[in-house]
Structure 1
Amino acid sequence: MKFSSTLIGLFAGAALSLATPTALSAHPTDPTNGGEGGKVIRVTTLAKDGPGSLAEALAGKGPRIIVFEVGGAIDLERSSLRIDQPYVTIAGQTAPSPGITLLRGGIDVATHDVKISHLRILTGVDGQAKRSGWEADAFSTIAAHDVVIENNTFMWAIDENMSASGPRFTGDTVADWRAGTSHDIVFRLNIAAEGLADASHPKGEHSKGSLVHDNATGIVFDRNIWAHNVERSPLVKGGAQVLMVNNFIYDPMHRAVHYNLMDLEWAGHEPVTGEITAVGNVMRGGNSTDADLPFLMLGGVGDLAYYGRDNVAVDRHGNELPDFGRYGDTAARLVAADRPLASLDGYDIMPSSEVETTLLATAGARPWDRSAEEVRILFYIAEGRGHVIDSEEEVGGYPQIESTRAPFVEANWDLKTMTPKAGVYPGQKAGAQEHLSPRDREMRKSGN
C-alpha cells in the first residue's frame, strides 16, 4: 500500500467543513454531553489558579460550560489539574487565537460526565534530572466514567500522553472490578505525540502513548494520531475492552498496539480475557521503528479476543509489516473473533487508505489554528521524518506563546454544540498552515 507525501491542503482543511471540525467523524451518541445546559463560566486569566482561572472553574459544582476570554499559555509549574466535580465541558475552541496551552503539567479526570475539547497540553521534563521522580501524564482518567476527550493535542508526557486508568481490583467480581475503574471513555481526533523516553520518570525509559488499565471497559479510540512513542499506541491491560476505529500510528519504536495481563499484577486472581476490536487503522513505521515490528503484540499470561479488519501496517519504505507478534514466552492466546466484539453501529468508517490524509487535516487541538509544534509533528508524519525524543529541548523547548484577550459573546455560540453560529472559529485561518522560517517567508514574498 502506498502513502501520499503531498502536503497540499493537509493542514488547512480547505475542503473540509471547519464549522464542524468533527464532521468527518460520524459516530454513535457519546456517553456524555458534559456540562451541557449548565452555567457558563468564563476563564479570564492565564494564572495557574485563583480568581478567574481554569483551576477555579474546574473546582466549581454543578453543570457548567467553561469558556475562555483569554488565549495563551497556562504554566502549571510541574503540577496537574484534577477534575473531581462532574458535569463539566471545557470548550477550548472559544479561546481567542492562539488558543489555550497548558505547560509543565497535565490533567487528571477523577469523576464522571466530563467533556474536554480543543486544548493543548505540553508536559515536558522541564530540566528535571533523569529518573528524579517527575512523572506526569499529559492526560489521564482515574476511575472516571462517561468522558469524551475530543480534538486535543497531548505532547511530551513523562508517563502516558493520553490514558484511561484506575484501580485494578475493587470488589469481589469482574463486574465490580470494571465498575470501579475507568469505563465509557471516548478519545476522538486527538494527537498524542513525542512521549519523552529517557527523562525524569523513576522507572527510566517511559515514552508511552496510551494505557488502558486492567478491567477498563467501553474505551473507544476514534480517529486519533499517535506519533513518536516508544510503545503503548495503545497498551491494553488485562481484561480491558477497547474499540479502535480509523486511528493512525506513526513511528512506534518497540511496540504499537499491545495487550498484556501481567501475572505479577494479577497474583491471586483468575485472568480475564481482554477484547480489542480494530477496524480501519494504519501503522506506518518511521526512523525509530524496530525492523519487522508487528501491528499487534501479545505479552503476559492472559488471552486476548481480537477482531481486526482493514488494518494496515507498513515500514517507512512502504513494505508490509506483520499483523501479529509476541513478547515473552507464555501460554497467552490470541483468540480470533469472526465478528466485532464492540458495536460499530453509527460509525462512518473510512477505508484505511484515507486515514492518514484525513487525520492530518482534522486531528489535534485547533485544526483551523495550528501551533508550531503541531505543524512540525504533522509535517514530520507526512514527510516520514522525526524520531523518539528524551526532552522537549531536542525540538526547541517550550514555546513562547503570546497572551491575547477577547470577550466571549454567548449569543454568538450554539451552547448545545459549542460551535460558532457564524461558522468561523476564533483564529480561523485560510489556506495551508505552515511554520516558516524567516528565510522561507522572504522567499514566499518574492515568489520563489
Structure 2
Amino acid sequence: MCAAQAADPTTGGDGGRIIRVTTLAKDGPGSLKAAVEAKGKRTVVFEVGGVIDLERSVLQIDEPYLTIAGQTAPSPGVTIIRGGLDLKGHDVKISHIRVMTGVDGQPRLSGWEADAFSTVAAHHVVVEHCSFFWAIDENMSTSGPRFNGKTLKEWRAATSHDILFRENIAAEGLADASHPKGEHSKGSLIHDNATGIVFYRNLWAHNMERSPLVKGGAQVLMVNNMIYDPGRRAVHYNLMNLEWEGHPYVTGEITAVGNVMRAGNSTAPGLPFLTIGGDGDLAWFSKDNINVDRWGNPAPMMGRYGVTKAKVIEAPAPLASIEGYRITPAADLETDLLASVGARPWDRAPDDIRMLFFVAEGRGAVIDDEKVVGGYPHPAPTRAAFVEKDWNLATMTPKSGVYPGQKAGPQEKLSGRDKEMRK
C-alpha cells in the first residue's frame, strides 16, 4: 500500500520469527506487550481484531529488530485506546495500527500527558499507515536528549535519527485537556538535533500547533504532506536560547516539496505556512508548496514570532535527498492523499472516515475532549488465524492481493437514516 520508492531506513524484523497476538488484553501471554518485549528479530501478527485498552498507560518498545504488522488483523483491525506508544529501540517498523489516546475524563491540568506515538532516542524506524488521534502531548513525534556527548556528531547520534513517517494521520490533538502546561493540541515535535527525519504523505488535521515543530539543529524532509485546519501555527522552527544556553547554536534544516496547507474553522486568519521563532537560524528549501485560506485564496508562506535575530536562509537546492520519492504536484495532492492515508485504507475505522470527510468538506475543529466527537470506539472483538503461506512475509502483503476485511467501493460512516435514504 506504500507509494514511496526511496529506500527505507530499516526492514524491522524481516526474516525473524513470527509472534502471534492472540488477546486484546493490555499485557500477559499472547498480548501485544509480550510480543514487543520479546527479544530477537520478530514480526508481530494479529489473530484478533478490536480494541487494546492500555488503561491510561504507555506501551514502551525497547527491543530492536521488530515489525508490527497491523494489516494482518481481522477486521476491524487493532486500535489502542487510553494510552500511547513510546519507541526507544531501533530497527522497528510499525504499520496499520490506530492509537486513540484521549483525556479519559481526567481533570484539566491534572498531569495525564501521553503522546499517541513518539520515538525516544530511537533510530532506523518506519511508521507507516497508522492513525494517531487525541494525544495529550504530541500525536506523532520524534524526541530524545539534546546534548548527550561532547560534539554535534555525538549529540545527533545519541538522539532520534533516521525516522520515516509515511502515510499516517495525526489528528485532533486535545487542546484544553489534562496536560500540566495547559493548551496542548500538538501534531508533531522534532526535537533538537534529531536528523534524517522524513515526513512523506502524511495528514495533520485539527492540531493547534506543531505540524510539525522542528527544534534547534534538527534536519527534516517534508514531501507531499497535507496540513488541514492548523490553529495558531503550522510548520514552525524554534531554537530556544532558554534550552541551548551554554551550547553553540546549530542551524536547522527543512526541505519542503509538494506540501499543501489549507485553513479550517480553527485557523488564525493569515496564518503562514512556515513561522520561525527563537534565536537560531533555519536553512530552508521550498518547492511547489501551497497555502490557502478556507476559501482557497492564497495565504502567506512565511512569518515569524518573537523579536529575535533568527534568520531563514533560503537554500538553492534540497538540503536532503528527494531521490526515489514519487512526488505528486501540490495542486493534485489532496484527492490523491486522502484516498490512501491512515490505517487500513481498505477497511477504515469510523473516526478515520469522519476525519477524511472533515478534510474533504472543510469541516471540524480543534477539540478539547474525545467525547465531543463520540469518544472511544467499542467494536466487537474478532478472531481469525494468521496463515503464513498466504502472505509474502518479506513485504507483509497478502499473496491474493486482498487484505483482511477489504471492502469494495466507497467507505462512509452512515447513520440509520442515511442507510435508508440510500436504498
Band of TM-score, shorter chain:
over 0.9
1:156 to 111, 134, 139: 134
- The CA deviation at 1:270 is 1.0
- The CA deviation at 1:354 is 1.6
- The CA deviation at 1:109 is 0.5
Instruction: Report matched runs for 1:121-160 at 5 Å.
Output: 121-160=99-138
1:419 to 397, 416, 422: 397
2:287 to 301, 305, 309: 309
Instruction: Report matched runs for 1:105-254 at 5 Å.
Output: 105-254=83-232
Q: Which residue of 2 aligns with 1:321?
A: 299
TM-superposition CA deviations, 1:24-80 (whole Å, max 9, x none) = x23311010000000000000000000000000000000000000000000000001
Identity of aligned residues (%): 70
Give the RMSD, CA atoms, in angstroms: 0.5
Q: Which residue of 2 aligns with 1:385?
A: 363
Structure 1, unaligned runs of 5 or more: 1-20
Q: Which residue of 2 aligns with 1:396?
A: 374
Measured in 1, the distance between the counterparts of 2:162 and 2:397 equals 24
Secondary structure of 2:422's counterpart equals helix
| Runs of 4+, deviation exceeding 2 Å | none
- Opposite residue 422 of structure 2, the aligned amino acid is R
Measured in 2, the distance between the counterparts of 1:111 and 1:56 equals 15
Q: Which residue of 2 aligns with 1:434?
A: 412
Whether 1:266 aligns to 2:266 is: no
- The CA deviation at 1:399 is 1.3
Secondary structure of 1:353's counterpart equals helix
TM-superposition CA deviations, 1:262-310 (whole Å, max 9, x none) = 0000010111000000000000000000000000000000000000000
- Opposite residue 376 of structure 2, the aligned amino acid is Y
Whether 1:87 aligns to 2:65 is: yes
2:353 to 375, 395, 407: 375
Q: Which residue of 2 aligns with 1:340?
A: 318
- The CA deviation at 1:401 is 1.4
Whether 1:289 aligns to 2:267 is: yes
Secondary structure of 1:283's counterpart equals strand
1:278 to 247, 256, 276: 256
- Structure with more relative contact order (C-alpha pairs < 8 Å, separation 6 or more): 1
- The CA deviation at 1:243 is 0.1
| Residues paired across the two proteins, number | 423
Measured in 1, the distance between the counterparts of 2:176 and 2:338 equals 28
Secondary structure of 1:265's counterpart equals helix
Q: Which residue of 2 aligns with 1:11?
A: none
Q: Which residue of 1 aligns with 2:386?
A: 408
Measured in 1, the distance between the counterparts of 2:103 and 2:382 equals 26
Secondary structure of 2:405's counterpart equals coil
- The CA deviation at 1:168 is 0.7
- The CA deviation at 1:443 is 1.0
TM-superposition CA deviations, 1:336-355 (whole Å, max 9, x none) = 00000000111111100121
Q: Which residue of 1 aligns with 2:75?
A: 97
Measured in 2, the distance between the counterparts of 1:315 and 1:171 equals 44
Measured in 1, the distance between the counterparts of 2:226 and 2:29 equals 40
Measured in 2, the distance between the counterparts of 1:115 and 1:77 equals 24
Q: Which residue of 1 aligns with 2:27?
A: 49
Q: Which residue of 2 aligns with 1:74?
A: 52
TM-superposition CA deviations, 1:124-161 (whole Å, max 9, x none) = 00000000000000000000000000000000000000
